[in-house]
Structure 1
Amino acid sequence: MEKLEVLGTLPLFEPLSSAERERLADGCRMRTFARGTALFREGERADGMHVVLRGVVKVVRFAPDGRETVLHLVRKGNTIGEAAMFQRGTFPASAVAVDDVETLYVSAEALFALVTENPELALRMLAALSLRLRMFAHKLAVQGQGGAAGRLATYLLHRRQIGGADVIRLGVSREVLANLLGLARETLSRQLSRFVEAGLVELKGKDIAIRDAAALRDIASEGADR
């Protein structure tokens, strides 16, 4: 029943009838991952996808010396691993739980059977993949925009646009966020402090409240023009 409830809340699976949703639920299972645990690793066969129900997952690539590069962050209600699954290939990167994570794991076999019968579901999956591509392109753009101020301002404005609110829940440590923006942790902390001192943002625990979006847009634009 819990699996059916989860599937019923996901826009991705809206085209499914009740019977189809029940069939898909039979090919799903709930999974939990402790902080630091890998949901999957680069090079593993992609036999399914995850829907994040709780926590945050970072998608990373590891260098030979062990250093990691955060490609993007996956939060509650979003999917991970679907691109590799549809290619019937291997995962191009690793997915690691930032904190305690719960997911709904959807097997490729169960999903492919429904996609074959329901073209509308395939279109929705394509739309989800396109959104993920735009998010990744945004991440690359942020890393290329000038200094720390421009990158941080661009990121905050992007999260504000997605969430539709001035209060942003980071959900990750500053170390992870710095890696995502291509900055050193100390650099990120200094820049965030400068934004606070200038009255652009306010820190509320793990939340960041945007107080002057216009000023942040000016900073982001300056970074893009460099």
Structure 2
Amino acid sequence: MDAPTMDLGCALDMLATQGWFAERSAETRARLGTIAKLRSFTKGDRIYLAGDRPNGMFGLISGSLNISIPRADGEDYTAHRAGAGFWLGDLALFSQGPRLVSVHAAEPTLMVQLPSPELVRLVRDDPRLYADFYALTYQNFRMAFDIISNLAIPSTEKRVADRLVLEAKMRGDQEGWIPLSQAELANMTAVSLPTLKRILRRFVELGLIDHRYARIQVLDRSALVRLCRG
């Protein structure tokens, strides 16, 4: 499938409806918009790899991204499937260090890029902007800690329930759809695929979720939260 296209103005308007960009002042959004560039990707395209030098920040308009962490055995662990409104790339950019994660398009994806030279110049000219980027770094660290906390849950059923709640919350999709296959969710939660299938069947029977090919719908988030805490 071809990469999606869109007018830059429409793309920025969409980003202004959710996530970190929506929480910025109109003045800050306008200033960032002056350096923004549209980037489109097809499924499997590399956005950047762990170890790369930073080339700017990215905001996700449509599609989804696989955020992967390199493991000690040389393989990658896909930690998160990011959806629209998600921003990344701030930590390496402002610390002037290499990328810590690898990011690939999980499907045809449209993004806005804030290139490094222009963004650094904006912040140098107005250091007050640092507070906006600290807010983004805080959000992304909170997400990382949520993922670590999820993997520490001993019960496989509670771990899967918590991860579904976490993914649905981070995507902000009112219909609750999460674009994850069962195999991908099993990998994220460190659960065997047969065990995951059994857990998902029980959740369906309880009316907590529905699932289709390569996607899962959270129907009752509150009940999943209660299950985690029970």
TM range (shorter): 0.7 to 0.9
Distance 1:123 1:191, change over 3 A: same
Aligned mates of 2:117, 2:135 — CA distance in 1: 21
Shift of 1:113: 1.4
Shift of 1:55: 1.0
Distance 1:19 1:32, change over 3 A: closer
Shift of 1:63: 4.2
SS of 1:39's equivalent in the other structure is: strand
Give the aligned length.
218
Match of 1:208 in 2: 217
The answer to whether the Cα contact below 8 Å between 2:67 and 2:78 also exists between their aligned partners in 1 is: yes
Distance 1:74 1:212, change over 3 A: closer
The answer to whether the Cα contact below 8 Å between 1:153 and 1:217 also exists between their aligned partners in 2 is: yes
Shift of 1:161: 4.6
2:227 to 199, 219, 222: 219
The answer to whether the Cα contact below 8 Å between 2:151 and 2:159 also exists between their aligned partners in 1 is: yes
Aligned mates of 2:207, 2:29 — CA distance in 1: 51
- Matched to 1:195, the amino acid is F
Match of 1:182 in 2: 190
Match of 2:55 in 1: 47
Aligned mates of 2:85, 2:177 — CA distance in 1: 15
Match of 1:135 in 2: 143
Distance 1:56 1:18, change over 3 A: closer
Aligned mates of 1:154, 1:33 — CA distance in 2: 30
Q: RMSD of aligned C-alpha atoms?
A: 2.8
Shift of 1:33: 1.8
Alignment of 1:1-226 (within 5 A): 2-8=7-13, 9=16, 10-11=21-22, 14-16=25-27, 20-21=31-32, 24-25=34-35, 28-63=36-71, 67-162=75-170, 167-203=175-211, 206-211=215-220, 213-214=222-223, 216-222=224-230
Distance 1:152 1:163, change over 3 A: same
Aligned mates of 2:191, 2:184 — CA distance in 1: 10
Shift of 1:193: 0.7
TM-score, normalization: structure 2? Answer: 0.81
- Matched to 2:217, the amino acid is I
- Matched to 1:193, the amino acid is R
Shift of 1:90: 1.0
- Matched to 1:91, the amino acid is R
Aligned mates of 1:211, 1:93 — CA distance in 2: 32
The answer to whether the Cα contact below 8 Å between 1:61 and 1:68 also exists between their aligned partners in 2 is: yes
Deviations 1:165-212 (A, max 9, x none): 774111232222222222233322221111112333334663424247
Unaligned runs of 5+ in 2: 1-5
Shift of 1:85: 1.0
The answer to whether the Cα contact below 8 Å between 1:200 and 1:213 also exists between their aligned partners in 2 is: no
Unaligned runs of 5+ in 1: none
TM-score, normalization: structure 1? Answer: 0.82
- Matched to 1:187, the amino acid is T
Distance 1:164 1:73, change over 3 A: closer
SS of 1:36's equivalent in the other structure is: coil
SS of 1:61's equivalent in the other structure is: strand
Distance 1:18 1:198, change over 3 A: closer
